[in-house]
């Protein structure tokens, strides 16, 4: 069974990577359901890429499911803020649906994430391992030879230290961008934010479909959320999906 | 600070004190006045002459302004040459009545030597206050005032958290306001000034009403809605005293009635509203956008009103409304206006009459649903009809799709979450191996520097090992009758032995040298002679013409014996 499963994934990956054109042809021939099912199968098997999410979003949009499209645009942007097409599309949808996105990152934080997302996570990990090991190779060499460190070697060690520290943090941030789900989204229309985790509690705000927020607490059936405008309230878990 | 009253009180005490001298009883009670007005004070004195246990009367009908103050006086008298001494003791109170009427101060008791003495009870009549400006505090009250006691579901009620008091000065030392539950609520802000105080009469008493907080509450359940009480600690002062009060407010109840059967076009509004409709453009071209603006104004729950997308004739693309409001939350309730602005794109030319749909709201005053409708408006659109590539009229989704950026067709191989090196065993091995090695090197103990004696000891150890090895080779040479090798090995073994054991170098090995150096090390002469003899024989055999001198086994045995002796020396 596992073997069979493996073959299917291999086949899908094969279609997607080597013969990506075939998926694109399906898209061009307006077979959006087929495109979505191929992409979602890969996603459910823990595959990810900014373009995979982006193209899934476009297929959903063409199919007419704007909210699902928005979800996949956000997912794509989450792992790669450099994808300009993605940002353009979801900003356009936000504008059309009159959604306020209060969680847009700006300034240094966005610049840093863009730079890190420019390379894969393994790139940063390998860069860290190499620079870190070169530092200790130099140190071991001097130790074996019973020599004291020269000024040149000190300068090289300093730069290698900077490089390894930076690549280490970059790999952590990249890991978070891929694995952490800081935001959540409402797929359903007419979700009401309640003051307490109970259907009898006070209505605080109506959440539009596609509105994003942060989860700050949870219990069995409810999430406590903040929408960035100091609205803290509870929403039922069943209507919420993590980006 | 002693006020006037206290001066009068002290003066009165002096007068009473002098009066004590005149007569005596075991125990007696006196008051300065029995008929007083409500704004008057009087003194009560309890005087006794015997030692014992005193039981004081209850004074709950009066306010104790001062006391009890104790004083004593001893009177001596000489009657027919007999000297008598009586000590008068007294407790004095300064009292003030609380209300009008007749009040009895019960008798005081003195138990002395098993006998109980009782004083007289005193009745005080309290009449109307004589001073028109007289002011005295009564118990303050915390009250939550509600704008209505019976409302419809969705209707707002204004709560005012107040204190009713008549102090000259009141100071709040602590308060706790509850958060009303199961409702929508909005706290009203009095702005820079606090809420205005006013006078009122409540249960026959006149009070100053101080509102502390006001909030608009819309209960979200029907039936009996109980307002949660608030508590307050208060320090109130009047002309005479200052008292602390721990107060809890009442818990008013509001009856929330359900709305009658809602009509289909009910917009959720409860109150009294008007509706207006206007367009941002009345003459436009196809493809041009404009807004249909519905404005609802009036008094009521404007914040809960929802307007459906208007149904327009074909040829218009309508988007979700942008909602803006100008809602004021005041002591009079919720009022203002809310605007629903629907962005629309005109796609078909023609003259269109927009007839707005009628909507209804519930009027709690009239207790019925009211229907309102905005006036019609006419739009004139010119130009060509907008069509999509397949000839159909472009709809909302199509315009969105038209604007978005399309799929990315560049080759992309998705990564798998589990394919990352980060956090794997390989990751940890690759980052910890070299630092671990470095640490080992860093903490490795340094080689020990041997001293001369230890070096010599080591050399001596090596000497015996080397000699034993060489002599075993020599023995092999004898066995093989290879005498030249025998002498070679024996010679080497002796020279090396001497070198390592006694640091006598090969070049120093001469008969005289050897004798002197070994004698210095206390080696017996016979051994030295035998050793020199063996060395000479070896040299003779190695460098001479004769390969065998005979008795090689004897030489070897003697050599072993000598090395044994030297080892033990």
Which residue among A49, A122, A140 sits closest to B438, beta carbon to beta carbon? A140
Across A71-96, average pLDDT: 88
pLDDT of B508 higher than 80: no
Looking at per-residue pLDDT, the higher value among B416 and B292 belongs to B292
Question: B38: pLDDT confidence band, cut at 50, 70 and 90?
Answer: confident
So what's the pLDDT on residue B83? 77
The phi, psi pair for A20, rounded to 5°, reads -55, -25
> The tokens of B44 are what?
């009560």
Question: B20: pLDDT confidence band, cut at 50, 70 and 90?
Answer: very low
- Give the Cα separation of B210 and B197 in Å (integer): 5
Q: How far is CA B349 from CA B283, B286, B310, in A?
A: 11, 6, 19
Measured in angstroms, the CA of B143 and the nearest CA of chain A are apart by 25
Measured in angstroms, the CA of A200 and the nearest CA of chain B are apart by 7
Question: B2: pLDDT confidence band, cut at 50, 70 and 90?
Answer: very low
Judge: B404–A58 Cβ closer than 8 Å, yes or no. yes
Strand order in the sheet with A240-242: A203-207, A191-194, A232-236, A222-226, A212-218, A183-186, A240-242
pLDDT of A12 higher than 60: no
Q: What is the pLDDT of residues B510-569, one digit of tens each?
A: 778 878 888 887 888 888 888 888 888 888 887 776 666 667 788 888 888 888 887 776
pLDDT of A41 higher than 60: yes
Q: Which residues of B touch A (CB under 8 A)?
A: 181-185, 220-221, 319-320, 322, 397, 400-401, 403-423, 427, 430-431, 434-435, 437-438, 441-442
Nearest to A170 by CA among A162, A133, A136: A162
Nearest to B303 by CA among B258, B264, B259, B339: B339
So what's the pLDDT on residue B489? 83
Burial (0-12, 13-18, 19+ Cβ within 10 Å), B72: exposed
Across A146-159, average pLDDT: 89
> Which helix (H) or strand (E) element contains residue A154?
helix A151-179
- Give the Cα separation of A141 and A135 in Å (integer): 10
Q: What is the pLDDT of residues B248-273, one digit of tens each?
A: 898 999 999 998 888 888 888 999 99
The phi, psi pair for A79, rounded to 5°, reads -90, -20
So what's the pLDDT on residue A59? 92
pLDDT of B108 higher than 50: yes
pLDDT of B19 higher than 60: no
Of A179-183, B247-251, B494-498, the range with the highest mean pLDDT is: B247-251
The overall pTM is greater than 0.80: no
So what's the pLDDT on residue B28? 86
pLDDT of B388 higher than 50: no
> The tokens of B138 are what?
């009564």
Looking at per-residue pLDDT, the higher value among B132 and A128 belongs to A128
Ranges of beta strands (E only) in B80-178 are 82-97, 101-105, 109-112, 115-118, 122-127, 141-146, 150-152, 157-165, 169-176
Q: What is the pLDDT of residues B347-371, one digit of tens each?
A: 788 888 888 889 999 999 898 999 9
So what's the pLDDT on residue A29? 85
So what's the pLDDT on residue B221? 83
- Tell me which of A121, A202, A205 to substitute to probe the interface with B (most B C-beta atoms closer than 10 Å): A202
Residue A72 CA to its chain's centroid (Å): 10
pLDDT of B297 higher than 90: yes
- Give the Cα separation of B392 and B214 in Å (integer): 58
Measured in angstroms, the CA of B403 and the nearest CA of chain A are apart by 8
Q: What is the pLDDT of residues B307-354, one digit of tens each?
A: 888 888 877 878 777 788 888 888 888 899 999 988 888 878 888 888
Count of CB atoms within 10 A of residue B6's CB? Answer: 13
Question: B449: pLDDT confidence band, cut at 50, 70 and 90?
Answer: low
> How many residues can be counted in chain B?
569
Judge: B184–A21 Cβ closer than 8 Å, yes or no. no
pLDDT of B450 higher than 80: no
Judge: A202–B182 Cβ closer than 8 Å, yes or no. yes
Whether A200 contacts A62, CB under 8 Å: no
So what's the pLDDT on residue A168? 92
Q: What is the mean pLDDT of chain B?
A: 81
So what's the pLDDT on residue B274? 93
Looking at per-residue pLDDT, the higher value among B259 and B75 belongs to B259
- Tell me which of B218, B402, B414, B415 to substitute to probe the interface with A (most A C-beta atoms closer than 10 Å): B414
So what's the pLDDT on residue B398? 65
Question: A127: pLDDT confidence band, cut at 50, 70 and 90?
Answer: very high
Measured in angstroms, the CA of B324 and the nearest CA of chain A are apart by 12
Respond yes or no on whether the N-terminal peptide bond of residue A110 is cis (omega within 30° of 0).
Answer: no
pLDDT of A241 higher than 70: yes
The upper half-sphere exposure of residue B6, i.e. CA atoms within 13 Å in the direction of its Cβ, equals: 8
CA of B432: which chain A residue's CA is closest? A133
Contacts of B430 in chain A (CB under 8 A): 129, 133
So what's the pLDDT on residue B144? 92
Residue B245 CA to its chain's centroid (Å): 31
Contacts of A83 in chain B (CB under 8 A): 408
So what's the pLDDT on residue B395? 58
Count of CB atoms within 10 A of residue B349's CB? Answer: 16
Q: SS3 breakdown of chain B: % helix, strand, coil, rounded to 5?
A: 25, 40, 35
Q: What is the pLDDT of residues B391-441, one digit of tens each?
A: 445 555 666 777 788 888 777 777 777 777 888 888 899 889 888 988 888
Measured in angstroms, the CA of A176 and the nearest CA of chain B are apart by 11
How much is the ipTM here? 0.75
Which residue among B322, B403, B411 sits closest to A17, beta carbon to beta carbon? B411
Contacts A–B by Cβ distance under 8 A? 128
Across B473-497, average pLDDT: 83
Q: What is the pLDDT of residues B4-17, one digit of tens each?
A: 555 555 555 554 44
Looking at per-residue pLDDT, the higher value among A160 and B422 belongs to A160
So what's the pLDDT on residue B389? 40
Measured in angstroms, the CA of B178 and the nearest CA of chain A are apart by 15
pLDDT of B85 higher than 50: yes
Strand partners, B371: B360
Across B85-96, average pLDDT: 84
So what's the pLDDT on residue B465? 78
So what's the pLDDT on residue A108? 85
């Amino acid at each position: 069974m596992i073997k069979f499963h493996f073959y299917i994934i291999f086949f899908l990956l094969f279609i997607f990577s080597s013969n990506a054109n075939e998926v694109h042809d399906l898209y061009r021939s307006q077979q959006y359901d087929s495109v979505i099912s191929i992409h979602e199968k890969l996603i459910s098997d823990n595959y990810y890429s900014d373009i995979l999410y982006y193209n899934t979003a476009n297929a959903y949009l063409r199919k007419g499911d704007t909210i699902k499209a928005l979800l996949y645009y956000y997912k794509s942007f989450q792992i790669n803020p450099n994808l300009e097409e993605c940002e353009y599309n979801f900003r356009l949808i936000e504008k059309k649906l009159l959604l306020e996105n209060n969680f847009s990152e700006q300034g240094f934080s966005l610049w840093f994430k863009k730079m890190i997302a420019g390379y894969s996570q393994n790139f940063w990990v390998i860069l860290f391992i190499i620079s870190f090991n070169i530092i200790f190779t130099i140190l071991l060499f001097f130790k074996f030879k019973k020599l004291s460190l020269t000024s040149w070697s000190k300068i090289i060690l300093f730069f290698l230290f900077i490089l390894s520290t930076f690549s280490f943090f970059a790999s952590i941030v990249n890991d978070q961008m891929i694995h952490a789900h800081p935001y959540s989204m409402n797929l359903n229309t007419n979700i009401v934010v309640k003051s307490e985790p109970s259907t009898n509690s006070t209505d605080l705000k109506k959440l539009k479909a596609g509105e994003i927020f942060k989860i700050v607490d949870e219990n069995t059936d409810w999430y406590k959320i903040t929408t960035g405008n100091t609205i803290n309230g509870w929403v039922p878990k069943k209507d919420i999906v993590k980006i | 600070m002693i006020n006037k009253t206290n001066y009068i009180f002290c003066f009165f005490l002096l007068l009473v004190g002098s009066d004590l001298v005149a007569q005596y009883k075991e125990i007696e009670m006196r008051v300065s006045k029995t008929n007083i007005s409500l704004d008057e004070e009087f003194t009560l004195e309890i005087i006794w002459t015997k030692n014992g246990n005193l039981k004081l009367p209850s004074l709950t009908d009066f306010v104790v302004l001062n006391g009890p103050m104790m004083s004593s006086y001893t009177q001596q008298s000489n009657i027919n040459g007999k000297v008598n001494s009586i000590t008068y003791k007294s407790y004095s109170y300064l009292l003030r009545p609380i209300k009008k009427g007749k009040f009895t101060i019960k008798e005081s008791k003195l138990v002395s030597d098993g006998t109980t003495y009782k004083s007289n009870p005193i009745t005080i009549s309290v009449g109307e206050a004589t001073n028109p400006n007289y002011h005295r505090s009564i118990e303050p009250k915390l009250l939550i005032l509600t704008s209505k006691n019976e409302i419809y579901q969705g209707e707002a009620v204004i709560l005012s958290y107040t204190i009713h008091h008549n102090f000259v000065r009141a100071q709040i030392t602590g308060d706790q306001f509850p958060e009303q539950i199961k409702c929508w609520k909005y706290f009203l802000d009095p702005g820079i000034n606090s809420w205005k105080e006013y006078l009122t009469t409540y249960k026959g008493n006149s009070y100053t009403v101080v509102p502390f907080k006001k909030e608009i509450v819309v209960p979200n359940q029907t039936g009996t809605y109980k307002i949660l009480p608030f508590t307050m600690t208060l320090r109130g002062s009047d002309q005479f005293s200052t008292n602390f009060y721990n107060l809890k407010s009442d818990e008013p109840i509001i009856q929330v009635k359900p709305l009658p059967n809602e009509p289909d076009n009910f917009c959720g509004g409860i109150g009294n509203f008007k509706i207006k409709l206007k367009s941002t453009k009345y003459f436009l071209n196809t493809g041009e956008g404009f807004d249909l603006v519905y404005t609802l104004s009036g008094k009521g729950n404007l914040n809960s009103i929802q307007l459906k997308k208007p149904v327009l004739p074909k040829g218009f693309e309508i988007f979700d409304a942008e909602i803006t409001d100008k809602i004021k939350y005041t002591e009079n309730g919720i009022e203002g206006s809310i605007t629903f602005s629907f962005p629309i794109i005109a796609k078909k030319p023609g003259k269109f009459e927009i007839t707005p749909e009628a909507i209804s709201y519930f009027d709690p005053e009239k207790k019925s649903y009211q229907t309102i409708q905005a006036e019609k408006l006419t739009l004139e659109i010119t130009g060509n009809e907008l069509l999509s590539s397949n000839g159909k009229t472009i709809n909302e989704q199509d315009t969105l799709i038209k604007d978005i950026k399309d799929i990315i067709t560049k080759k992309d191989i998705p990564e798998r979450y589990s394919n990352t090196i980060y956090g794997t065993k390989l990751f940890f091995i690759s980052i910890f191996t070299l630092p671990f090695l470095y640490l080992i090197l860093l903490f490795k103990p340094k080689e020990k520097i041997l001293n001369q004696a230890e070096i010599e000891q080591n050399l001596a150890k090596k000497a015996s090992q080397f000699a034993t090895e060489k002599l075993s080779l020599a023995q092999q040479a004898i066995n093989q009758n290879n005498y030249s090798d025998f002498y070679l090995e024996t010679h080497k073994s002796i020279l090396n032995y001497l070198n390592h054991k006694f640091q006598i170098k090969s070049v120093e090995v001469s008969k005289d040298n050897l004798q002197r150096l070994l004698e210095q090390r206390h080696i017996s002469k016979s051994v030295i002679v035998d050793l020199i003899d063996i060395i000479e024989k070896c040299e003779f055999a190695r460098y001479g013409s004769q390969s065998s001198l005979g008795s090689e086994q004897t030489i070897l045995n003697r050599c072993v014996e000598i090395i044994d002796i030297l080892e033990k020396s």
